[in-house]
Structure 1
Amino acid sequence: MITLKSEGLTLFKPQAVDNVAGHYFDTGISAGFPAPAEDFKGQRLSLDEALVKNKDTTFYAKVSGQSMIGAGLDDNDLLVIDRSLEPTNNKIAVCFLDGEFTVKRLRVSQDEVWLQPENPNYPIIRITEDNNFLIWGIVTNVIKKV
């Protein structure tokens, strides 16, 4: 496992384990009235297969902080990040900015790049030539604890 730690994120390289899958109920689970239990057809579901499109370029990272709560990214959530995806306007990206990792929404217009938090208590960051900046990967999924 590769672990990269920064003040904002801890990154982990996924390590696939063969023949590990949880039960999956393809009928859906009602969030309204209870569904009849006899209709459940248990299948196996691998989260690696469901969440990871490119094994060699996918990493996991734990969120640290509150700057993206408006996008549903809470402290200690686990992000699935694909480094092979094209960074485009409005994508949520993990970026390396001036020696630290951060996760923000990309705002790209003409020759400007901005990193927009999803919490009004945090400032929008304008990227300039003075910044040491790299778009490290694009967030594809979020895994939450309840």
Structure 2
Amino acid sequence: MTTIIPFDSSNSSTLSFLQPAAIDPVACTLPLLQYRVPAGFPSPADEYVEKGLDLNTYLVRNKAATYFFRVVGDSMTGAQIHDGDMLVVDRSIEPKHGHIVLAVVNNEYTVKRLYACNGVVELHAENPAYLPIRFRENEELQVWGVVVGTVSRFAV
């Protein structure tokens, strides 16, 4: 059986570039509108304002265990994760079947969907151009953290 283990950062110098999630003590609260907007609908009126939305609070549940990574490549486009997007990764969440995870495979980072069912452990891309990464009996998969969100920019 393949073992899924947390990545041990104490043995790796490659983690020195990572920074914990920087939470601004002054909340960046934006208005959250309760009206669901179909594409093309004009801006809703002020009476639809429900409450403020703090993106830090929405995306970061555990500040000490949350990190941001920039995506390179197109293997996860089917999960709406695109080249240049920022991943929000939480190390405190236990990885489970179906989670999108940041994993270390052969000393390289990759983001893939975790498949762990009936004793089979694989990392699946969300792009048919990429084959699953399969793990054999007694191999270890090191999961660095679970992806809890992404941040995308559409305009500069």
TM-score of the two chains, using structure 2 as the length reference: 0.77
Tell me what 1:71 maps to: 79
* DSSP 3-state at the match of 1:135: strand
Deviations 1:71-107 (A, max 9, x none): 1110011111111112111111100111100000111
* DSSP 3-state at the match of 1:102: strand
Pairing of 1:9-24 with structure 2 (within 5 A): 11-24=18-31
Alpha carbons 1:97, 1:132 under 8 Å: kept: no
* DSSP 3-state at the match of 1:134: strand
* DSSP 3-state at the match of 1:17: coil
Alpha carbons 1:97, 1:131 under 8 Å: kept: no
Pairing of 1:94-113 with structure 2 (within 5 A): 94-113=102-121
Alpha carbons 2:34, 2:50 under 8 Å: kept: no
Single out whichever of 40-49 and 60-69 deviates more from structure 2: 40-49
Shift in CA distance, 106/96, structure 1 to aligned 2, threshold 3 Å:
same
For 2:124 and 2:49, the matched residues in 1 are separated by: 43
The CA deviation at 1:132 is 6.1
Tell me what 1:49 maps to: 57
Instruction: For structure 2, list consecutive stretches of 5 or more residues without a partner in the other structure.
Output: 1-13
For 2:95 and 2:61, the matched residues in 1 are separated by: 16
Tell me what 2:4 maps to: none
Ranked by relative contact order (alpha carbons within 8 Å, sequence separation 6 or more), the top structure is: 2
The CA deviation at 1:130 is 7.7
Deviations 1:112-145 (A, max 9, x none): 2101101111111102368663011111111111
Shift in CA distance, 11/113, structure 1 to aligned 2, threshold 3 Å:
farther
Residue 117 of structure 2 corresponds to residue 92 of structure 1: no
Alpha carbons 1:99, 1:132 under 8 Å: kept: no
Alpha carbons 1:11, 1:62 under 8 Å: kept: no
Alpha carbons 2:20, 2:63 under 8 Å: kept: no
Aligned residues: 140
Shift in CA distance, 38/91, structure 1 to aligned 2, threshold 3 Å:
closer
